[in-house]
Amino acid sequence: MSDSQGISGGPLHFLDIRKLPGDNRLGSIIPGPIQPSYELVDKVQSIIDRVCSGGDLAIAELTNTYDNVAILSTRVEPEEIDLAYRRCDSDLIESLQIAHDNIRSYQIERAKFQRIGEVQEYTGLGIRVTTQRIPLERVGIYVPGGRAKYPSTVLMTAIPALVAGVHEIVLCVPPSSSGNPPDETLAAAKIAGVQEVYRIGGAQAIAAMAYGTESIRPTLAIVGPGNIFVSIAKQLVAGKVLVPGAIAGPSEVVVVCDESTDPVFAAVDLAVQAEHGPDGLAWLITTSSNVLEEVNRNLAKIVANSSRKSDLEKTLSQGGYACLVSDLTQAASLINEIAPEHLEILLENGDELAGMVNSAGVIFLGPMVPASVGDYLAGPSHVLPTNRTAKFAGALSVIDFTKELSKVTLEDEQFADIERHIATIAKCEGLQAHGESVTLRLRKSISQENNGDSE
């Protein structure tokens, strides 16, 4: 396997795994996710500690330090949101509304499969269990800022929560240089129906939503993508609050192409995710060295002419790879090991490969289906698992904003039948009180029945 940067002047690192002896070696050979240093984790923990001890004052100081913005209050009032909405371009408002409606329709259909609110009942051994999936009361969503505006992330996080029935949604978004979040982000909040918005970014926003401050009541769950500081912060507060499924970190894409693929399409799709900024991954996978070099050359041109050139260059220098594989089976093995956030199969007949993939956030199938379709309109949330967590997690959905609540009742006449089994297992485990909790009840029940019979 060779590893060199600048194939035909392109930005991708070159990997050739065609002659590897077996799939079981992939995990130890291919480049893995970039792990944060202990120093960075300690720095994020110090931010969380400052918010916990200093509250709103600490948030103002941290915002001044990291965003270079002096804020007078954390809360973005509803009147400010309305003004931002009216300042936005009418075409953007129309597009956001169309995106909102389609995402909401998809999430409503998704919710039907989860049977939110429906009571399920099971009876066995005289034990009746009723289970209901109910919404969380209050959740926090994080929407990135700084390098770009992300009104789409408001829709992709708030809509599943609202469809799930969450009553209170807290939105944190970094302020721009004016001290306010971008108008477009606030407009999306208005369209989605989110009124509780705070001008806070970074790890301090995660800490505020997890632990609360004078102006922000803590939430029960935190979702949304972010930079490495946000990702680490979510990991550090997990347990205090729910951090559903997987950690949504820096963006990732794997693009699979062959001779039938337009190399410009493949190149621009690699750039789509890489332009989000550093620490992400952009993989090109193909069986053809000619295709690999052609895509890489086109990507070099896109990078050179991009308004986000520095972000692209940094991402690709750290996490950009062009990989040759022997066949689709080896491609699938590699994809499942990478477990990418976005997988684009830009093949005319990609169903066979898609059928072999079990670890990806979302699969975009066909040469005319870029990941941007999912980023803005398709319906599944674009908040997706990164850092190889797609091996066990999927897209954010209505189910992530709910919990199961069960009620157990028992038919009295069946108590004697189950007492023996419970007592036997409890005795085996050495838990005397567990067994006595049913045995004492059975004795009392028998005694009351005998006293009733004697009367």
The residues with which 395 forms a beta bridge, in sequence order, are: none
Residue 276 contacts residue 311 (beta carbons within 8 Å): yes
With b for 16 or more beta-carbon neighbours within 10 A and e for fewer, the 205-244 pattern comes to bbbbbbbebeebebbbbbbbbbbbbbbbbbbbbeeebbbb
Q: Supply the angle between the helices 78-87 and 183-192 in degrees, to the nearest 10.
A: 110
Residues recorded for the chain: 455
Tell me the three state secondary structure of residue 454: helix
| Active-site annotation holds for 434 | no
Concerning whether 421 is annotated as a catalytic residue, the answer is: no
CB 24 within 8 A of CB 326: no
For residue 285, CA distances in Å to 254, 256, 300, 346, 347 come to 7, 5, 17, 10, 12
Exactly one of 294, 342, 382, 419 is catalytic; name it. 342
Q: Walk across the sheet containing 402-410 and list its strands.
A: 119-124, 127-135, 402-410
CA atoms within 13 A on the CB side of 201: 28
CA separation for the pair 126, 123 (Å, rounded): 6
Asked whether the beta carbons of 382 and 276 are under 8 A apart, the reply is no
- Of 184, 275, 294, 341, the active-site residue reads 341
Radius of gyration of the chain (CA): 26
Side-by-side strand order, sheet with 13-16:
13-16, 320-324, 281-286, 252-256, 342-345, 362-365
Closest listed residue to residue 386, CA positions, set 252, 191, 205: 252
How far apart CA 328 and CA 350 sit, in angstroms, is 10
- Which amino acid, residue 245? G
Known catalytic residues? Answer: 341-342
